[in-house]
Amino acid sequence: MPRSMWKGAIQFGLVTIPVKLYVATESRAGVSFHMLHEPDKSRIQMKIWCPEDEEIISRSDTVKGYEYAPDKYVVITDEDLEKLPLKTVRSIEIEQFVERTEAESQTKFIKQAYYIEPDRVGRKAFALLKEVLQDKGLTAICKFVIRDREVLAAMDPFENTMLLSTLYWPDEVRALDELDLPDEEPEIKPAEKKMAAQLIEAMTGEFDPANYRDEYREALMQVIESKIEGRETVEVEAPEEPTKLVDLMAALQASVNAATRERDDKREKPVSVSEAKEKRAAKAATGTKAKTAKAKSDAEEERPARRRKTA
């Protein structure tokens, strides 16, 4: 069972709903490497070094310190953090409710997503809050403290629970004026817009995450396995270099053609020999049953009806 990252309660007016938070995602994006000493290939160890005593110390001998002046620190203990006069230390305080469409435009910068698990005593109140948010199309904007920091969050219904997404504070989101963007939009020709729409249409379909995989990781694991087995490193075939097209319309037309071919190839996915045999056998069996049923029906129609004996 996964370990909860936070335990407290949702504060909804005068209603308290005891809950636990579980991280909703886990990163499996890359292959992890260890740092080795090149000459003897021994693994390097990271030690905590105290320059004052000139010795290696244990992590248990460390404390949290805030630098209020150069080389001047004040120690903050876990007890100090627990005594902070904030309701959000142990509760998810709902500040307001907003229309979900409006919230989506203001909550694009997400730090972490958490599943919410209500305690048994709070399940009814949790279900009530979830159902009302679902029916009204609302998002709850909240604040709570996690990992020694107060965070802003958005809470939304998600399947049979709710999802709590922590957000960046407004002053943490970089302004667009830091980018070198044009003052005016470039002129778009109607033909270019039409061709771009055709390209997008050719590439439009239902999104199924199961159809995607980390191809870089797979290629890297091939290299690693080859080295473990003492074989030569597998050279992955390089992708074909795209043709450099200066003309935008020519590039769009070539892209539309390529996307259309790819879409058609997916639709006409070849079947294996065994699958083809099974389909033919099923079709033949269906045809035989249909012929038998028809013959039986014809025979019954041709058979003369019996006359009832009269008394």
**Domain range list for the chain:** 6-25+83-172, 190-203+212-267
The C-alpha atoms of residue 224 and residue 233 are separated, in whole angstroms, by 8
Q: Which residue has the higher pLDDT, 308 or 105?
A: 105
| Of the ranges 175-184, 224-233, 263-272, 280-289, the best mean pLDDT one | 175-184
pLDDT confidence of residue 92: 94
pLDDT tier, 142 (very low <50, low <70, confident <90, very high otherwise): very high
pLDDT confidence of residue 231: 75
Of 8-17, 123-132, 212-221, give the lowest mean pLDDT range. 212-221
Mean pLDDT of 193-214: 86
Over 50: is that where the pLDDT of 309 sits? Answer: no
Over 70: is that where the pLDDT of 306 sits? Answer: no
pLDDT confidence of residue 308: 46
Over 60: is that where the pLDDT of 50 sits? Answer: yes
pLDDT confidence of residue 244: 59
Mean pLDDT of 194-206: 87
Over 80: is that where the pLDDT of 144 sits? Answer: yes
Structure token pair of residue 256: 């539309």
Mean pLDDT of 54-74: 91
SS3 per-residue string spanning the chain = CCCCCEEEEEEECCEEEEEEEEECCCCCCCCCCCCEECCCCEECCCCEEECCCCEEECHHHCCEEEEEECCEEEEECHHHHHCCCCHHHCEEEEEEEEEHHHHHHHCCCEEEEEEEEECHHHHHHHHHHHHHHHHHCEEEEEEEEECCEEEEEEEEEECCEEEEEEECCHHHCCCHHHCCCCCCCCCCCHHHHHHHHHHHHHCCCCCCHHHCCCHHHHHHHHHHHHHHCCCCCCCCCCCCCCCCCCCHHHHHHHHHHHHHHHHHHHHCCCCCHHHHHHHHHHHHHHHHHHHHHHHHHHHHHHCCCCCCCCC
Mean pLDDT of 91-117: 92
pLDDT digits (tens, 9 = 90+) for 155-193: 999 999 999 999 999 999 988 888 898 888 888 889 888
pLDDT confidence of residue 113: 96
- What does the mean pLDDT of the chain come to? 82
Q: What is the CATH number of domain 6-25+83-172?
A: 2.40.290.10
pLDDT tier, 298 (very low <50, low <70, confident <90, very high otherwise): low
pLDDT tier, 203 (very low <50, low <70, confident <90, very high otherwise): confident
pLDDT confidence of residue 310: 44
Using a pLDDT cut of 90, give the percent of the chain over it.
33
Q: Which residue has the higher pLDDT, 227 or 170?
A: 170
